[in-house]
Amino acid sequence: MVSKAIFFDLDGTLTDSGEGIINCATLALEHFGLPVPSREEMGVFVGPPLDRTFVQFGVPEDKTQEAIDVFRSRYLVVGKFENTPYPGIRELLDTLQRQGYRLFVATSKPETTAVEILNKFELSQYFELICGATFDSGRVHKADVIAYLLDKIGSPQQILMVGDTEFDVLGAAAHGIATIGVSWGYGKVAAMEQAGAVAIANTMDELLQLIQNWEH
C-alpha cells in the first residue's frame, strides 16, 4: 500500500481553542495598555506564531517576548484547557487510522502544550508524532515545524496538510506539500485559496471525502 501521511494543524483544525487564546491575548494587550478589539477580530491570534500577531495589535517589536510571557503566564495554567475538540473530529481520525493513513500533528503551538491538550482530550492515540514549536526561537513557524517532522519520519510517498489558515498552506508549500483547508477554524477561506490550498472542506464528511479522493 502507498504510504499516505496526513499532517494536521491543531488550533482551529482539530480543536476550537479560541476562547483560551483570546482570553490570554487580551491579558497581554491590557498589560501594555493597548486597546482590545472585538473577540471576532482577536480570532487572528489563533494559529499563527504570537510574535507577528502581537505586532499587528500595537505591541512594539522589541516587546513581543514580554507580550508572549504575559500570554503564557495565563495560558500554561488555565487557557490551554479553555478548548474543545470540534464535533466529529474523533470519528474522522478513527476512520483515517483504520483505513491505514499515517497521522501526525504539525502545529505552531509549543509542542509540550500540544501534547498536553491532545492527551486531555484523548486524541493523542491517533497520531504517530505530535510536533510543535519550541519555547525558544529554534522552531516557531509552520515551515520550521514541518521540516522538523519530515526529519523525524523521512518522506512518506504521499503527504497532505490539513489546516485552517494560510500559514498552514504556505508552511506546507515550502516543502512541496499540498494543503486542504477547513472552513470551521479561524482563518479566512479566501486567504487559504489565495495561498494555494487545493480544496476547502466545510464539514468533517467533506474533509474525509477530499482526503480519500486526493492523489499527489
The domain spans of the chain are 4-16+84-213, 18-81
Mean of all residue pLDDT scores within the chain: 93
Asked: is 18-81 a CATH 1.10.3720.10 domain? The reply is: no
Q: CB burial class (10 A; 0-12, 13-18, 19+) of residue 167?
A: buried
Query: 147 with 120: CB under 8 angstroms?
Result: no
> Residue 32: is its pLDDT beyond 60?
yes
CA gap 2, 87 in Å, rounded: 29
From 9, 16, 164, 168, active-site residue: 9
Entry pTM = 0.89
pLDDT in tens, 80-93: 999 999 999 999 99
What is the CATH code of the structural domain delimited by 4-16+84-213? 3.40.50.1000
Confidence of residue 58 (pLDDT cuts 50, 70, 90): very high
pLDDT in tens, 188-199: 999 999 999 999
69 tagged catalytic: no
- Which residues, at least 6 apart from 155, have a Cβ–Cβ distance to it below 8 Å? none
Query: 180 with 211: CB under 8 angstroms?
Result: yes
